[in-house]
Amino acid sequence: MTKKITVSLPDELAARLREEPNVSAYVAEALRRRVAGERTREILRRSGFAVTEAGVARAHAEREQISAGITPELREQAAELEAKVLAARAKARR
């Protein structure tokens, strides 16, 4: 079931949504991701982890820094290693 609602957005977000062929699907997916993140943070909090906006920002910055260091050569090496592992698994199953 679906429900039609009306929301007010800042101009830059409304402009971004106009680029989408299916605004409802785009907004629904964004909201699902937000809700999943909230659930994850709640689970972490209940498990004793102190989740703060500053900590999340640091983790995102660290991830970006690490991702920036992944070169095309490293991606190729990883793909080759993955292929070898999958081939070895397939051989072991026979």
Q: What is the mean pLDDT of each run of 10 residues along the chain (94 residues)?
A: 94 97 97 96 94 93 95 95 96 91
| 66 within domain boundaries | yes
**Is the pTM for the entire model greater than 0.75?**
no
- Domain extent, residue 64, equals 11-93
Q: Are residues 51 and 41 in contact, defined by beta-carbon separation less than 8 angstroms?
A: yes
20 within a domain of the structure (yes/no): yes
5 within domain boundaries: no
pLDDT of residue 3: 94
Report how many domains make up the chain. 1
Tokens of 39: 């659930």
CB atoms within 10 A of CB 55: 11
User: What is the spatial distance between Cα 20 and Cα 4, in angstroms, rounded to a whole number?
Assistant: 18
Is 88 contained in some domain? yes
**Do residues 17 and 27 touch, judged by C-beta distance below 8 A?**
yes
Tokens 């026979």 belong to 94
Q: What is the pLDDT of residue 94?
A: 87
Q: Cα separation of 23 and 51, whole Å?
A: 31
